[in-house]
Structure 1
Amino acid sequence: MNDVRMACGRCSRLAGLLALMVSMVHAEAGTLTYPAYGVQVLNVPASLSVGRDTPVGTTLWQLMKNAGISVSDVSCTVQKDVTVTGTLVPGYTNMYQSGVEGIGVRLYVTSEYKGQLVVIPVSQSYSVPVNGTMENDVRADFIVTGPVKSGTTSNLPSMQLKFSGSCFTTVTATQTLTGNTAVAGNTCSVTTPTLTFPLPRAYSKDLASTGATTGDTVVPLNIDCPAGVKIGVTLTDAVNPANRSSTLSLAPGSSAAGVGMQIMNGATAVSFGPDSAAAGTVNQWIAGTSAGGAIQIPLTARYVRTSSKLVPGSVNGKATFTMSYQ
């Protein structure tokens, strides 16, 4: 009897060992293939032309490809970890340097295996259909992070994807940005940096009531710009920079009172703004989009009566202009 019990005990241990071996084989029976469509690179454009004052956050270029995931007998949870090799733009947590000042790179991947994109780096755990081919898009954006300077992209970031689970062998892949982009940070040159408006002598009869104007004098602002640049202009009252009205303050040395000056853009009296080239600055106005080459922006200065009491004398004013190339 003792011999029989010992034999059965050995059989029991052997059966347990065989069951464990079967379980181990089953745990790695599935396969996950990435990328399913062979997408390994995202080709960047050969060149980009960017206005110097293009607003921060503007997307200059974007490319997305579906790399795809193929699974077979994957019945376990999939862990997807996506990281980036690159240098962060200072002040950002998911924007990477492109090698050109003012342009950053942001990378995206499909959330789980379908639906919207999420910004990399990201870590997700999810279930997939046991068998089949699924979406897995990867995307790269070039985004404005500050004033753009001319240059060529270099050391572009890459994304590393890792798929792991208990029922398939871990899969890793790298998606790279390939090529170099020559960036032209478009800017213009002002060929008339100083404008002088020699207004004629004005008489009380020409300024008979508050709001009356006289002495219109036209002087062109001359600039030279590459084609495609949108030109913004902001005038600032040099005597009172906080002035946001359309009447220029009298400069020291003026002896007249009850009169001011206006600067016209066509038929519109320009309101004054801060000394800033940022796109969308208060009271910035758009002079047009350059076709390439020399441009004249005609400006008109004139007297305007500002109060019921008019005191004769000399009138002087001073304003500065700031150009914004977008």
Structure 2
Amino acid sequence: MKRNHFRGCQGIAMKFPRHLTLYYATTYQPVRSLFTWLGTWCALLALTLLPAIAQAASCTPHGGPAPLVVMLPGFTVNANPNVPIGAILGSNTTTWSATSPSAYITCDITMSSEIYNGDGTYLGTVGGTPNVYASSIPGVGFQFTLGSSTLLPYTAYLDPVQGGPGVHWAPNPSYSFTTKLVKTGAIAAGGSLNGEIGQVWVTGSGFNFQIVSIQLSSSIIFTPTRPTCAATAPPVSLGVATIGTTLRNVGDTSPAQNFNVTLVCSGGSAGVTTNLYATLTDQTNPGNTSNQLSLTNTSVATGVKIQVLNGATILGYGPDSIAAGNTNQWLIQSSVGNTTLTLPLSARYIQTAASPTPGNADGIATMTLSYQ
């Protein structure tokens, strides 16, 4: 932590027998020479001393709240959950940034130590990795490093000059901070970590005060290595739909033609599965969110569109996005591991105008897979 002495008028205290204290206002001077200078006046001023009145120790923030807040960016870790206990799953090194750069805290007693702690239960050494804290994700812990090599928890002991009254306690803006995720046990699922992950305290004479809160500006996201799938599907011929026979009125449909999408899923860690979702996107009209696929611009026919079905369910269309909850996203299968799936679908024409015109009627849709 950065410690800056006051450079204005302040009270300087010296202790005398019978717990008598002299307070003398003066401008800032080096502490050693100031104590020596005051000492030469002891004999002259001793008769004027009054009994000291004990007051509770306190710390005061200036220019910001207490504790002061420093922020660290989040990061994403995608790792094999089957590594040995104690293995490092992922890490990130950055320099923290203060939310109130000019803010500081002063305390009215001498502080004897600074204590740097991580958040969560302290586990100690796990599988050979020292100084590990538990996180809210089962099987995943933290290890924190201040600077290049100082592991938390860490205590810095202070001399009276470093921790004396009037010192400005403020985060050093140049401190680097490394956060590591450590395997501490069986990992069944991923998760996210947010909020405060560490603190800095000062202590002295039975008094302690949190001066800094180390927080995340965005989430740390951990996901086990999951399988991903490659999809293949042949072009689908819908045959001939005869206007006036097969298609007579708006809403009439042609017989559905079955086809299969093959999904080859691989690359996941043993025992790790994913919930596999999909979204169909209309390539001719990407903003289409209906359940009718537009005809391509080269199609001659008019007044008809195409529907794709999953069993008896007519599938809708949505943006080309992997985001969970995407418009018209649907579940293919839960708990998919390293495997090959066959997804049976069907397609058909639907009449959309009272007077359709004949000709070729083609449509193109893409499928976007989302692993959740």
TM-score, normalised by the number of residues in structure 1: 0.53
Change (3 A) 1:259 1:170: closer
Distance apart, 1:301 and its partner CA: 1.0
Match of 1:196 in 2: 235
Give the C-alpha shift of residue 185 in structure 1.
Answer: 3.7
**8 A contact 1:236–1:321 mirrored in 2:** yes
Could you tell me which amino acid in structure 2 is paired with residue 222 of structure 1? T
**Which gives a bigger RCO, structure 1 or 2 (Cα 8 Å, sep 6+)?**
1
The answer as to whether partners of 1:100 and 1:153 remain within 8 angstroms in 2 is no
Which of 223, 242, 247 matches 2:263?
Answer: 223
Q: Which residue is 2:363 aligned to?
A: 317
- State the identity %: 29
3-state SS, counterpart of residue 236 of structure 1: strand
The equivalent residue for 1:14 is: 46
Query: Given the alignment of the two structures, is residue 76 of structure 1 paired with residue 99 of structure 2, yes or no?
Result: no
User: Aligned partner of 2:283: which letter?
Assistant: A
SS in 2 for 1:233: strand
Query: Do the aligned partners of residues 309 and 77 (structure 1) sit closer, same or farther apart at CA in structure 2, a change above 3 Å counting?
Result: same
SS in 1 for 2:119: strand
In the alignment, the residues of structure 2 paired with residue 279 and residue 270 of structure 1 have an alpha-carbon distance, to the nearest angstrom, of 17
For the aligned residue pairs, the C-alpha RMSD in angstroms reads 4.6
Residues 79-99 of structure 1, C-alpha deviations (whole Å, 9 max, x = no match): 674666xxxxxxxx4544477
Counterpart position of 1:138: 119
Change (3 A) 1:172 1:202: closer
Instruction: Structure 1 unaligned segments of length 5 or more: list them.
Output: 1-9, 28-74, 85-92, 106-118, 127-135, 144-151
Alignment check: 8 A CA contact 1:96 1:104 kept = no
SS at match of 2:256: strand
Number of equivalenced pairs:
220
Alpha-carbon deviation of 1:280? 1.5
Give 2:246's aligned residue: 206
- Partners of 2:287 and 2:210 in 1: how far apart? 58
Q: Which residue of 2 aligns with 1:289?
A: 334
**Distance change in 2, residues 1:99/1:251 (3 Å):** closer
Taking the aligned partners of 2:287 and 2:341, their CA distance within structure 1 comes to 29
How far did residue 306 of structure 1 move? 0.9
Following TM superposition, by how much is the alpha carbon of 1:251 offset from its aligned partner in structure 2, in angstroms?
A: 1.2
**TM-score where L is the length of structure 2:** 0.47
1:17-66 deviations in whole A, cap 9, x for unaligned?
A: 5845xx6xx67xxxxxxxxxxxxxxxxxxxxxxxxxxxxxxxxxxxxxxx
Corresponding residue number in structure 1 for 2:306: 261
Shift of 1:76: 2.9
Q: How does 1:1-326 map to 2 (within 5 A)?
A: 13-17=45-49, 19=51, 75-77=56-58, 81=67, 93-97=71-75, 138-139=119-120, 155-156=178-179, 159-164=198-203, 168=206, 184-192=224-232, 194-204=233-243, 205-225=245-265, 226=268, 227-292=272-337, 293-326=339-372
User: Quick check: 2:238–2:257 contact (8 Å CA) kept in 1?
Assistant: yes
The aligned amino acid for 1:162 is W
